[in-house]
Amino acid sequence: QQVIKIVRDELTALMGGTGAELNLKGMPSIIMLVGLQGSGKTTTCAKLAKFLKEKERKRCYLVPADTYRPAAIDQLQKLGQQLGIEVFPAQNSQTPMEICVNALTEARQRGYDVIIIDTAGRLHIDEKMMNELKQLKHRLMPQEILLVADAMTGQDAVNIAKTFNQALGITGIILTKMEGDARGGAALSIKAVTQKPIKFVGVGEKLNALEVFYPDRVASRILGMGDILSLIEKAEETIDAQKAKELEQKLRKSEFTLEDFRDQLRRIRKMGSLEQILSMIPGLSQMKQFKNLHIDERELVRIEAIINSMTKEERLRPEIINGKRRRRIAYGSGTTVQEINRLLKNYNQTKKIIKSFTKKGKKGKRMNLADFFH
């Protein structure tokens, strides 16, 4: 334990020690996102705007300055519309410099707090690209230049970070697709090479899948120790306290229905991919039941479709679901009777487990996660 603690502390220190905050001191603050095509830069602009709007209460202005990739401007406008965040009405006929200068003027006049600029990406680094970014930096003097890098590309991500840092003097990094790099090794390499802080990580395709980078938590993940704090934060964001209390009362009385089952599935899906959630639970990856486990997320969608095809009475009293009802539910949900049988079997097993957990809790016995799999 002592050796693991020392290694964890060293890894945490190597990755910056503590989470690095954004510099939002400008009026407005200007954040330039740079990177190659395919790294998720445009989507990350929208994710960052959503994060600042909800967590920091900042009024953001999205600026699409990528006039090279077809539909890049249209993509950011659609994302902004989806989030209720204004996007500068750029045209492909304008140069990136014209777009950014005009957007900055408008943002100042209209009192925006933060401008987030989606700069042009390329399939590979070239001199023209870097010169254009240098000119934007010189003219706009942004508070932040954040490199968006794909954690899944391994050593390529490290080389890209090194090149961008040498040319632009980036202020930080956003690592995307970190849900695929379960152990977080890319974060360690990029921080070591650039000596610039990783400020955020993208952990999924959804627009709320952007998290502050905490070195201590990633260090725990690298060592296979899980990340329970991030898991708790995710749960707090998606689970209503009052509903959680109501569910607890139902569980204590063994009144867990298929409606409750469906509601919990929905909340779990909002938290992110199941594999990512399971990777955050300390010690779970060491259990033989979870080694090399692959979870098909479509199965959750099928389960929800089945439950939605039931009547309210069937969801509250599953014991009334006979053969005729099962055939109707299968037809309505586009599934098979075998899948209905499997769902009901799993639901009944879950009820038994909850009942045994409740009994153990009442008797003061220690409840163990492994009990779920006996």
- First CA to last CA distance, the chain: 28
Kindly tell me if the per-residue pLDDT of 91 is higher than 80. yes
Alpha-carbon separation of residue 256 from 14, 114, 261, 284, 354 (angstroms): 46, 46, 7, 25, 9
Provide φ and ψ at 57, rounded to 5°. 55, 40
Average confidence (pLDDT) over 158-176: 91
**Top-ranked range on mean pLDDT: pick from 88-102, 146-160, 266-280:** 88-102
**pLDDT tens-place string over residues 318-369:** 999 999 999 999 999 999 999 999 999 888 887 777 666 655 555 544 444 3
Q: How confident is the model at residue 373 (pLDDT cuts 50, 70, 90)?
A: very low
Q: How confident is the model at residue 309 (pLDDT cuts 50, 70, 90)?
A: very high
What percent of the chain is predicted at pLDDT more than 70?
70
Domains by residue range for the chain, with CATH:
2-225 (3.40.50.300), 232-373 (1.10.260.30)
The single residue listed with the structure tokens 């990580």 is: 201
User: Of 43, 100, 98, 102, which Cα lies nearest the Cα of 72?
Assistant: 43
Task: Give CA–CA dist 300/273, Å, rounded.
Answer: 11
Alpha-carbon separation of residue 272 from 122, 177, 202, 203, 242 (angstroms): 29, 12, 11, 8, 22
* pLDDT at residue 374, rounded to an integer: 38
Beta bridge partners of residue 148, listed in sequence order: 174
**Top-ranked range on mean pLDDT: pick from 98-112, 196-210, 245-259:** 98-112
* pLDDT at residue 105, rounded to an integer: 95
Kindly tell me if the per-residue pLDDT of 218 is higher than 70. no
**pLDDT tens-place string over residues 54-74:** 999 999 999 999 998 878 999
Kindly tell me if the per-residue pLDDT of 84 is higher than 60. yes
Q: How confident is the model at residue 180 (pLDDT cuts 50, 70, 90)?
A: low
**pLDDT tens-place string over residues 270-298:** 766 666 665 555 544 554 444 455 556 67
Average confidence (pLDDT) over 231-236: 60
Task: Give CA–CA dist 115/171, Å, rounded.
Answer: 16
Average confidence (pLDDT) over 239-253: 67
Token pair belonging to 309? 């095809």
Instruction: Return mean pLDDT, the chain.
Output: 80
* pLDDT at residue 230, rounded to an integer: 58
What percent of the chain is predicted at pLDDT more than 90?
38
Q: Whole-model pTM above 0.75?
A: no
* pLDDT at residue 126, rounded to an integer: 82
- Of 99-108, 135-144, 240-249, 309-318, which gets the smallest average pLDDT? 240-249
